[in-house]
Each structure stands twice: as C-alpha cells, then as structure tokens.
Structure 1
Amino acid sequence: MTRLTSALLGATAICALSAAVHAETITIATVNNGDMIRMQGLTEDFTKDHPDIELEWVTLEENVLRQRVTTDIATKGGQYDVLTIGNYEVPIWAKQGWLLALDDMPEGYDAADLLPAIAGGISVDGTLYAAPFYGESAMIMYRTDLMEKAGMEMPTSPTWSQVMDAAKAMTDKDNEIYGICLRGKAGWGENMAFITAMANSYGARWFDMEWKPEFTGPQWTATLTDYLTMMNEYGPPGASSNGFNENLALFQQGKCGMWIDATVAASFVTGPDSTVADSVGFAQFPNKDGIDNHGHWLWSWNLAIPASSAKADAAKAFVAWATSKHYTELVAANEGWAAAPPGTRKSLYDNPEYLKVAPFAEMTLFSIDAVDTSAPSVQEIPYTGSQFVAIPEFQGIGTAVGQQFAAALAGQVTAEQALQSAQQLTEREMRKAGYPK
C-alpha cells in the first residue's frame, strides 16, 4: 500500500467517523400498517444521500399512536420530530400553532401534483401543514368467485340491501367463510370511521344545527341495527376486536366474502400475500335504498413536523423524501407499481404503468373525488368532516361512542342501550366543551 493510498483511506475513515459523530437522529412516530412498514424497509435510499441524518422509528398500533402523539404535541413534550397523523388532526393542530408550515419544500417536490381533495384537507389558508403519504376513501372489496358461486352479481353502485343479500349468500360458517367483514374494534378512527360513513349513507348526522347529537333518531337506529345484523349473522367471531389489520388478514386468508374499508387496502388484497388475489372485485361504498348518498370517507396518513422539534431541517428532508414522486418510483422499482402509495398524486393516476397493474385505481380515484367533506350527510350540518367530525373534542367523544357500539357488537348491551348511552355521553361532553358556540 502506498503512502498516498494509506492517507486517502485514513481520510475517508476520518470523514465517516466525523459524519457519524455529527449525525442528527430524528425520531419518527408512525402507524403499524403495511405501507408504513414498507417505507421503513426502503429508507437506505434516504440515508445514503443523507449520511448526516439517522432515523429512529417508533411504530405503534393506530389507537396507541394517536394517543401518544396527541399527548406529546399538546404538552410540547418533544419526543418526536416527525409525526404520522391524519387529516383530522392537521388543520386543528396547525391552527393551534403546533405544526410547522411546509410551504418551502425542496425543489422538484411538486406540491401542485397533489390531489386537491387530499391537499385541501391538510392545508390552512392554502398552506400545507403536512405532506400526504397516502390517501384513501372507502369501497367494497369482494370475492368474485364466491359471488359467482352464489349466483349473484355485485353492482358497481350497490345498495345496503344488495350488500346484505350478498353477505347472506356467501356465508359458509362451516368452512370459516364469512359473508362480510367490518371494523368492530372501538376507536374514533377504527369502528367509528366505518359506522360514521355508514350512518352518512343512511341519512344520519352526528349533530343537528344546534350541536345536539341525534343517536336516538331513526337514521342512527337503522344504521346500528343493520350493522349489528350483518356482523352477528354473516361476520366472523370476535369481531369487536377486529380493526383494519385484522380484517385485512381475514380477507387475505380467504375468510371474507366482502370487506368494506379503506381503498388503500386494495393493493394488499390483490398482492402476493393474498390467497385470493386473482378473485377480487371492487364496488362503490353502498347507499341506503332511496337515499342518494354513498357515505363519505376521506382520510390521509400524513407526515408532519411538530413546532417543538429542534431538528426541523432534517425532519423536512425526510418528509420530502417519503412523500415524493421519487419515493413512489422507488416502491415501484422494488415491489411493482401496484404497491405504490395511492391517493395522493395526480401523476400516479395518469401513469399507464400503474393503471395497467392496479385494477382498483379507477374506483379509488372516483371514491376520493366523490367526497364532499362540507356535506357528508344529506341533512344540513354545523360541522365539516367525512367519517369524523372536525372538532377537537371528537377524539374523546368518538372513541367513547365507539366503545358503546363495540359493547353492543360483543352482546354486552342492546343496540337501543348503546344508542342511548351514546346520546347521553355526547350531550354531556358537548355541554362541557361549551357548544353551541
């Protein structure tokens, strides 16, 4: 080895050591779903271009994630530099001054490419306060082979009556095949996301124009009654413990005839881990007979930076990478275009390579574009939101109501008791919060 070579190797080692010594570690709080876990597996692409930034992951179940990040940001705890939060939290927290504005993303990020419905939900006065990792609405995913075996056909735009008929026809409990799988796990973003969207399609609303809840009214009564009928007669056992991940596993294992849930699940039910990948069809979220409203569901998981972070520049570099067109292409190169994070960028739905391998793309985009968060119900409302109500108090109220409905599903209380309890607790919490304002 020459002296020059030795010197160069020594200098390289010193530089590497110096970079390691001076590396900033950013802590990322995220949810334990498939897309986010996939992202963690691809971060070498980020760190090779940012050797001065190290990533520390805190990966949590959805309800736990919401609880921890809400507590941390409200108390300015500073545990996390990047938060995975929904379009429910972003505008509320931005108005509180808890989030950094993302109006200066790196060149080439192309914020104009974001779908308007998704960008609008995470902006305040036209300024982004988070970057969308993926976006979703809700739709029906169903087994085409079981539907054919039952001698039935799923309409593109079905009613709840048609869905219940199909669920009955596909149920074969002796062989552990359940006609329908729906969320039952308590939580404002778990069972209440689905049940609120279903209630919207039944003509229900959370509050009248005086902010009085309406759980004891006919629309909510019909919603919960039909939900419990479907789950008890045609659903899997132990459904009150099933959320998104549990139902995804059931569907992939071939145990669900239908699953009505987030459009983002489509790439997983048609992916390599699904035993029924070649027999999956898609249809619009149902509407109640005679009511022209297919329910409203608009959600995005977004990456945001708390104003309390001392590592904002490093955090912003990561957020820009994880939500960029480059990241979408990286996923496609590693796992195919069908696995690309859906529902955020117009360019994905203009990409013929994606459309060729994603049979769910058209229904996903249609479902997202159809949402009007200012009018989720056919009745007049004093709030905005889709499968949630966009007020700070909703996290607590929604989860408490979800616990009542999960108890009804578990057979601990009747539907009427659950609705009465929901009415009483919601009235109490809204009075404490000072509504109407």
Structure 2
Amino acid sequence: MKTLAALLLGATALVGTQAMAETTLTIATVNNNDMIVMQKLSKDFEQKNPDIKLNWVILEENVLRQKVTTDIATQGGQYDIMTIGMFETPLWGEKGWLSEFSEVPVEYNLDDVLQSVRDGLSFDGKLYALPFYAESQMTFYRKDLFEKAGIEMPDKPTWEQIGQFAEKITDKDNEVYGICLRGKPGWGENMGQIGPVVNSYGGRWFDMSWKPQLDTPAWKEGVTTYVELLKKYGPPGVASNGFNETLALFANGKCGMWVDATVAAGFLTDTKQSQVADKMGYAHPPIGKFEKGNHYLWSWALAVPASSKEPEAAKKFIYWATSQDYIKLVAEANGWAAVPPGTRTSTYETPEYISAAPFAKLTLETIETADPTDATQEQVPYRGISYVGIPEFQAFGTAVGQQMAAVIAGQTSVDEALEASQALVTRAMKQAGYLKD
C-alpha cells in the first residue's frame, strides 16, 4: 500500500507540474520596433519562469486598437496582456475592465517611473497599466542636407520655417523629400499628429458645451499647413503612411525632416537599421501661432484585462518588461541608445545612456512639458492633447482621419473635409447624448 500511495503521490505531482507548465499568456501588442525587441528578449523571461509560456499577437496599430477594444468591451478574454495607451487606460480603468496594479513589488521601484506617465495611466489615483515606453514629439532633420542648403534649424522652429526649409532641401529627382509626416487615417495615426498642429494654431475639438469646432479658421489653418507641406514636399503615396512606414522612409534617406514621436530617435541613430544614423539632428516640435499643445504625451503601456484568467502571471511578465533590469537587457543586446525611453528617471541619470543618446535631454523635456490638462488656447471640457479623452473619440477621430487622408490624397479639399468632419462629429455627439437636437 505504501508503494501504491507513493506512486499516486508521484503521479499527482507530475500532473501538477504539467499544469504549471501549461500556463500560457497571450500578449497583444503593436508591431513597432521596440515591441519586436521585447518579443525577442522575452526568452529571458521564459527561462526565469519555465511555468509560463508566451503567445504573441503582433498587430498593426489600427488593427490592434480595434481588436483589443472589441475584446475588452465584450469581456472576451482573448488576451491576458494588452498594449494600450494613455487614451484607453483611464477610461477602461474607470469601467472596471482592467486589473489594478495595487501591490507593485518594492524591487520594481515604482517611484522611479516618471510621475506624468504614471498619472496618464491612472484613474482616480489608481494605476491600471505600466509604461513600456513613453514619448512626446520632436523634429528630426538631416544635418547634411541643411548644411548643403546653407540653412540652420532653430531649437524651436515654426511651421512656417519648416515649410521654408522643406522647399530648400527637397530633391525629388533623387527621391529626397523635404518633409515626411503621417497620412494614414486613424485617431492615433494621422490625427495624432494633426491634432497638436491644430492646437498650435489655436484650435480645439470642442467648446465648453461640447459643440464641435472643426469648421473654425484655426482648424483650417492647421490642416492646410499640414496638407500643403505634404503635397509640395512630401513623398508619393503619403496617405497610406503611418508611423512605421514613415520611419522606414527616413531611415532609408528619403526624408529631410520628420515631425513625430520621440521614440523613433533610438532607431534612427542605430547604424544597423538607419542609413542616416550619423546625419541626425533634433529640435523641438514646430510651433504654429502658439506653443501650448504643440506636442503630445503618450505611452504605450502594458495592462491586464479583468477577463484574464492568469492575472498574476500576466503582471509578473509586465513587471519584467517594464523594469530597470529589462532596460539594461536591451542595452546589452542592442546598445544604450535603443532602450525604451521616457519611462524612468534612472534612465536619464545613466551616463552611458546620455552619452549614447544625443536626443535624451530633448525627449525628457518634451515629455515633462506636455500637459494633457491644458493643451488649448481656449478652454475645453476634455482631457488630451492629440486625442479627446472620451470613449466616442475612437470612432469619430478615425472618421475625421479618413477625411484628412482624402485631402492629402487630393480627393477632396480642406474646406470640404472640415465641413464633412464637423457634420459627422456633431452627429456622433448627438447620438452619444453630449448634444441636444
């Protein structure tokens, strides 16, 4: 009987071990360079946690947003970890759709995470996601092209100056375009970039009564500036270019300037991936008429949906992927300039990083000066710089983005697109109950 009992105990232990080994986390993330690196380096996590296996779902930005929004709203439970941002996190945290990070391990050093980033990933003082990287905007430019043209980039250029520079450095015969900007429709694609331009010309999405303001002179001036730059000095097919497509163009030497996310800097200074790594210059994002709201604050962060069946294992992975040790792991694998930026004070106190990343100081400055609570010249009832912090924005923001892409593609005029946008946003706000008929 003792032998039988021992066999049964051994069998039970074996089953338990197999059950542990079968813990699988499904991670939905965006196909940006830093996330591809995370997937590659995640072997380190699996080696340290042999009872946890990782299943990766890597998607284009617009597709990712659509799929994770659908899944979490229906409590589908398809994903254990979602890559979301400062738009979704507080909204979904308020609804109880996300698992709170209420007991963060001491060794994680949460106080090291930048306060503005933590605030953007919280609701009512409760933290619902941890930042994988954080970003604002900057102006990237080719020093060699500027020197050849005999021009100099100021520290804080205006959009008018950007147009003048673009004219002088454009060489379409040799496929060098003065400026590259996002044209692909999406609330986080082209509208994420157009929004700050409109802010800097004095525009806003809504007045204090939630009446849409897209048919105003400020919107026309901001959108016209953006569109005309691309039509005159941009690459062909720009209405299909999002962040990754534009990053590839710049890295391959096709762009003289680019105004976009600060996170691109690490990629563009990597000689293994960028043909212009030794020619890079950096400046503040351009100003229209006003500096307020001309650059955003964003974080791609990792969150655990309430529908996950493995929340503790999911959090264990997130602590690993957003830790100081992970940043060191990336530095060892790809160099200090390539580490995920904008999340931790310690990164910006590391001499090796400051030495390797000439863009570090500017990145931190733009992150710290972007204020989602005060981003427009006139008062607004919403929070956000490049987006409006209400659930309905995903739909109408993307619809407006489609109108903007049509203008960039030459299919309609700025006036027609803004008139259509004003109508569709007004309709959406009435349907959602913000406006009365």
State the distance in 2 between where 1:225 and 1:44 align.
47
Residue equivalent to 1:288: 288
Q: CA shift at 1:321, angstroms? A: 0.4
Deviations 1:349-388 (A, max 9, x none): 1111100000000110010011111111111111110110
Letter in 1 for 2:231: N
Residue equivalent to 2:98: 99
Deviations 1:228-254 (A, max 9, x none): 110000000000000000000000000
Note if contact 1:92-1:391 (Cα within 8 Å) is conserved in structure 2: yes
Runs of 4+ in 1 over 4 A off after TM superposition: 14-17
Number of aligned residue pairs: 424
Residue equivalent to 2:376: 377
Residue equivalent to 1:148: 147
Indicate yes or no: 2:128 matched with 1:129.
yes
State the distance in 1 between where 2:403 and 2:232 align.
20
Root mean square deviation of aligned Cα? 1.5
Indicate yes or no: 2:52 matched with 1:47.
no
Letter in 2 for 1:211: W
Letter in 2 for 1:286: P
Residue equivalent to 1:4: none
Residue equivalent to 1:157: 156
State the distance in 2 between where 1:167 and 1:312 align.
50
Deviations 1:292-344 (A, max 9, x none): 33613111000000001110111010011000011001101111111110001
Letter in 2 for 1:117: S
Residue equivalent to 1:273: 273
Letter in 1 for 2:285: F
State the distance in 2 between where 1:349 and 1:126 align.
25
Letter in 2 for 1:404: Q
Note if contact 1:285-1:294 (Cα within 8 Å) is conserved in structure 2: no
| Aligned pairs (5 A) from 1:218-229 | 218-229=217-228
Letter in 1 for 2:74: T
In 2 relative to 1, CA 222–324 (structure 1 residues): closer, same or farther, beyond 3 Å? same
Q: CA shift at 1:202, angstroms? A: 1.0
Identical aligned pairs, as a percentage?
55
| Aligned pairs (5 A) from 1:225-244 | 225-244=224-243
Residue equivalent to 1:401: 400
Q: CA shift at 1:106, angstroms? A: 2.4
State the distance in 1 between where 2:400 and 2:26 align.
33
State the distance in 2 between where 1:22 and 1:59 align.
23
Q: Secondary structure at the residue paired with 1:307?
A: coil
| Aligned pairs (5 A) from 1:263-342 | 263-271=262-270, 272-289=272-289, 291-293=290-292, 295-342=294-341
Q: CA shift at 1:174, angstroms? A: 0.2
In 2 relative to 1, CA 48–263 (structure 1 residues): closer, same or farther, beyond 3 Å? same
Q: CA shift at 1:17, angstroms? A: 10
Moved more, 273-282 or 101-110: 101-110
Deviations 1:56-82 (A, max 9, x none): 000000000000000000000000000
Residue equivalent to 1:78: 77
Q: Secondary structure at the residue paired with 1:139?
A: strand
Letter in 1 for 2:343: T
State the distance in 2 between where 1:395 and 1:92 align.
12
Letter in 2 for 1:83: M
Residue equivalent to 1:435: 434
Q: CA shift at 1:225, angstroms? A: 1.1
Letter in 1 for 2:277: A
Note if contact 1:101-1:128 (Cα within 8 Å) is conserved in structure 2: yes
State the distance in 2 between where 1:397 and 1:224 align.
17
Q: Secondary structure at the residue paired with 2:202?
A: coil
Note if contact 1:286-1:294 (Cα within 8 Å) is conserved in structure 2: no
Residue equivalent to 2:7: none
Q: Secondary structure at the residue paired with 1:282?
A: strand
State the distance in 2 between where 1:106 and 1:28 align.
22
Indicate yes or no: 2:143 matched with 1:138.
no
Structure 2 portions without partners, runs of 5+: 1-9
State the distance in 2 between where 1:15 and 1:168 align.
70
TM-score in terms of structure 1 length: 0.95
State the distance in 2 between where 1:17 and 1:144 align.
61
State the distance in 2 between where 1:74 and 1:284 align.
38
| Aligned pairs (5 A) from 1:184-263 | 184-263=183-262
State the distance in 1 between where 2:343 and 2:370 align.
14
Q: Secondary structure at the residue paired with 1:37?
A: helix
State the distance in 2 between where 1:353 and 1:279 align.
21
State the distance in 2 between where 1:211 and 1:126 align.
26
Indicate yes or no: 2:23 matched with 1:37.
no
Q: CA shift at 1:111, angstroms? A: 0.9
Note if contact 1:284-1:294 (Cα within 8 Å) is conserved in structure 2: no
Q: Secondary structure at the residue paired with 2:263?
A: helix
Residue equivalent to 1:423: 422
State the distance in 1 between where 2:379 and 2:104 align.
38
Q: CA shift at 1:20, angstroms? A: 7.3
Q: Secondary structure at the residue paired with 1:108?
A: helix
Residue equivalent to 1:364: 363
In 2 relative to 1, CA 276–20 (structure 1 residues): closer, same or farther, beyond 3 Å? farther
Note if contact 2:186-2:397 (Cα within 8 Å) is conserved in structure 1: yes
Q: CA shift at 1:284, angstroms? A: 0.5
Q: CA shift at 1:127, angstroms? A: 1.8
State the distance in 1 between where 2:390 and 2:295 align.
17
State the distance in 1 between where 2:353 and 2:14 align.
42
Residue equivalent to 2:4: none
State the distance in 2 between where 1:364 and 1:19 align.
46
| Aligned pairs (5 A) from 1:13-32 | 18-19=17-18, 22-32=21-31
Deviations 1:389-431 (A, max 9, x none): 1001000010000000101111111111100000000000001
